[in-house]
């Protein structure tokens, strides 16, 4: 998708927390500088996911920020989302692309160079690579090898979004390795001032990109 800015992808789940509504949280992270949002509700019903995505889209669309739904292509289509992100346990990329059509963003997780190459061949628009660091969201998943992002960078032309355990203190690592952006979940979860945190993350990303 030409022009999609993946610098700061914020993943939204049920635990956005601290008395903020979904709409308030969405508005705040966008005003802080989020460039892309992903709705990821694990173990939620389709109806719950659709309702949540609809709330997020209601805020994000008028502000021009794309919203991607995790895993479910059918929910993404029903919500009128901008795209879908499929992990390795989700539908194959080739099917996500076929069902989503050519206009929708299709992101794919890739845990190896081969998976990244395949995702590109199958029609993905970007790859998510991680966990870069040990993540509180998935504590039992081993981080990727430290040279995986550079290796994928050499192999494919698609944008790379680094994910997993990324904070303001370590985001320069994947960015300097060639990632185009980072995905954030834990660093913003239950955070009192998501707008400010997003804004500091955004600033650090820009700094890291400059070198």
Structure tokens at 200: 């500091």
Residue 75 or 191: the one with the smaller Cβ distance to a copy of itself is: 75
Q: Which of 17, 74, 151, 178 binds a copy of itself (CB under 8 A)?
A: 74
**189 near 15, Cβ under 8 Å?**
yes
Residue 141 touches a copy of itself, criterion: CB under 8 A: no
What distance in Å separates the CA atoms of residue 130 and residue 138, rounded to the nearest whole number?
A: 11
Residue with structure tokens 């979904």? 22
Residue 48 touches a copy of itself, criterion: CB under 8 A: yes
Residues annotated catalytic, as ranges: 40, 109, 138
Nearest distance from residue 200's CB to a copy of itself, in Å?
35
Of the candidates 209, 197, 211, the residue with the CA atom closest to the CA atom of residue 33: 197
**76 near 85, Cβ under 8 Å?**
no
Nearest distance from residue 74's CB to a copy of itself, in Å?
4
Give the interface segment with a copy of itself, choosing from 44-52, 119-127, 143-151, 152-160 (CB under 8 A): 44-52
Residue 84 or 175: the one with the smaller Cβ distance to a copy of itself is: 84
Q: Which of 9, 29, 68, 75 binds a copy of itself (CB under 8 A)?
A: 75
Residue 50 touches a copy of itself, criterion: CB under 8 A: yes
Residue 202 burial class via C-beta count within 10 angstroms: exposed 0-12, middle 13-18, buried 19 and up: middle
What distance in Å separates the CA atoms of residue 134 and residue 137, rounded to the nearest whole number?
A: 9
Give the interface segment with a copy of itself, choosing from 94-102, 130-138, 140-148, 177-185 (CB under 8 A): 94-102
Residue 151 touches a copy of itself, criterion: CB under 8 A: no
**38 near 10, Cβ under 8 Å?**
yes
Residue 47 touches a copy of itself, criterion: CB under 8 A: yes
**139 near 133, Cβ under 8 Å?**
no
Nearest distance from residue 43's CB to a copy of itself, in Å?
7
Give the dihedral of Cα atoms 41, 47, 48, 51; nearest 10 deg. Answer: 110
User: Under the rule (CB under 8 A), what is the footprint of a copy of itself?
Assistant: 43, 45-48, 50, 71-75, 77-78, 86, 88-92, 95-96, 98-99
């Amino acid at each position: 998708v030409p022009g999609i800015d993946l610098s700061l992808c914020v993943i939204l789940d049920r635990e956005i927390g601290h008395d903020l509504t979904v709409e308030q949280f969405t508005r705040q992270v966008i005003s802080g500088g989020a460039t892309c949002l992903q709705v990821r509700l694990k173990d939620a019903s389709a109806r719950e996911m659709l309702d949540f995505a609809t709330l997020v889209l209601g805020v994000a669309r008028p502000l021009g920020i794309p919203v991607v739904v995790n895993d479910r292509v059918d929910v993404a289509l029903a919500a009128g989302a901008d795209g879908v992100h499929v992990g390795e346990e989700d539908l194959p990329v080739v099917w996500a692309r076929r069902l989503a059509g050519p206009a929708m963003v299709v992101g794919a997780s890739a845990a190896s160079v081969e998976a990244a190459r395949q995702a590109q061949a199958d029609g993905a628009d970007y790859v998510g690579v991680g966990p870069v660091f040990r993540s509180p969201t998935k504590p039992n998943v081993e981080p990727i090898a430290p040279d995986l992002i550079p290796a994928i960078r050499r192999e494919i032309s698609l944008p790379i979004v680094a994910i997993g355990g990324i904070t303001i203190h370590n985001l320069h690592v994947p960015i300097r390795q060639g990632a185009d952006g980072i995905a954030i979940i834990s660093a913003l979860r239950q955070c009192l001032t998501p707008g400010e945190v997003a804004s500091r993350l955004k600033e650090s990303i820009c700094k890291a990109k400059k070198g």
